[in-house]
Amino acid sequence: MIRKSLWSRLGAVLISGAMLLGLAVAPASADEIYGKIYWSDFDDQTINRADLDGSNVEELLTGVGCYGGLALDPAGGKMYWTQTDFSSGSIHCANLDGSGSEELVGGLTMPIGLALEPGAGQMYWTNGGAGSVQRANLDGSGVEELVSGLSTPGGIGVDPGDKMYWVNCGNHDIQRANLDGSDVEQIITYAGTTTPFAVALDSGAGKVYFSNISCQPPESVLGIMRANLDGTDLEELYAPEGMVTIFGLD
């Protein structure tokens, strides 16, 4: 059984043997900290990084219960993540090399998804246990609740200056709203024993990408999907063979 693996777009195994939940990529540049892939390993409670070909794996942080929410601000030199024990949770940040770790927001129920809008100096997250989408400044100040009454929200993505998108796992759908939480609308829905979980946006191409997972134990990814930002033209891009657990996309 393939328990957990990390694939490139062509399906090659780069890193295996970890419960990979949060996943983010820092694009290549002249700076040595860029051109890296970052992920959280929920089994080992770590955040790690490697070169984009899977080599030079580094363990950056330990004792980190990151369940899917990992986001990078390469220009600011920071990474941010959600941390939870499924009854309480918090949001943290550190330098891209793992130094300078600090808690930014505490007292959350079960934060899962996390997305940044660095240009506006803000971060957005789903509070799964509270059924809400929240926002704060990147330093953790100014926490506000934008959307409530959701059913176990999971992954979240932000289209800067326009919309935020999130997965409503309990209702098996993807919703979006204005960045202030107004005008909530459902754009993609599933029925039965599958649901979207992780979500990522390509605003320039007008696309939303998401993982489609099984709701029945053991939870595993059934496919990587793509649609227009309004939910139309839904298509499957990749269907893994075996049992895979990758819950974060960025």
Using one digit for the tens of pLDDT, what is the confidence trace for 184-228?
A: 999 999 877 788 888 889 999 999 998 877 766 655 666 788 999
Enumerate long-range contacts of 89-95, CB under 8 Å, 24 or more apart.
89/127, 89/129, 91/123, 91/125, 91/136, 91/140, 92/64, 93/138, 94/60, 94/61
Q: Each residue of 69-91: pLDDT tens digit?
A: 899 998 999 999 999 888 889 99
Task: Give the Cα separation of 54 and 209 in Å (integer).
Answer: 22
State the pLDDT at residue 8: 39
CB 153 within 8 A of CB 126: yes
Query: Residue 39: CB partners within 8 Å, gap ≥ 6?
Result: 6, 15, 18, 20, 21, 22, 23, 24, 47, 48, 49, 70, 248
Identify the residue whose tokens are 């992920």: 39
Which structure tokens are listed for 171? 């209702």
Domain limits of the chain?
5-9+18-238
State the pLDDT at residue 12: 41
Instruction: Classify domain 5-9+18-238 at the CATH superfamily level.
Output: TolB, C-terminal domain (2.120.10.30)
Task: Give the Cα separation of 89 and 66 in Å (integer).
Answer: 10
Identify the residue whose tokens are 């820092």: 26
Task: Give the Cα separation of 227 and 247 in Å (integer).
Answer: 18
CA neighbor of 199 nearest in space, from 231, 247, 132, 151: 247
pTM value?
0.85
Which structure tokens are listed for 70? 């990992």
Average pLDDT over residues 34-41: 81
Identify the residue whose tokens are 């997305």: 115
Residue 156 pLDDT class (50, 70, 90 cuts): very high
pLDDT at 28 over 80: no
Query: Is the pLDDT higher at 11 or at 32?
Result: 32
Identify the residue whose tokens are 């993540």: 81
Query: Residue 22: CB partners within 8 Å, gap ≥ 6?
Result: 38, 39, 40, 47, 66, 67, 68, 69, 70, 81, 247, 248
Can you list the positions of beta strands (E) in 139-246?
A: 144-147, 153-159, 163-168, 173-178, 185-189, 194-202, 207-214, 221-228, 235-238
Which structure tokens are listed for 44? 């080992």
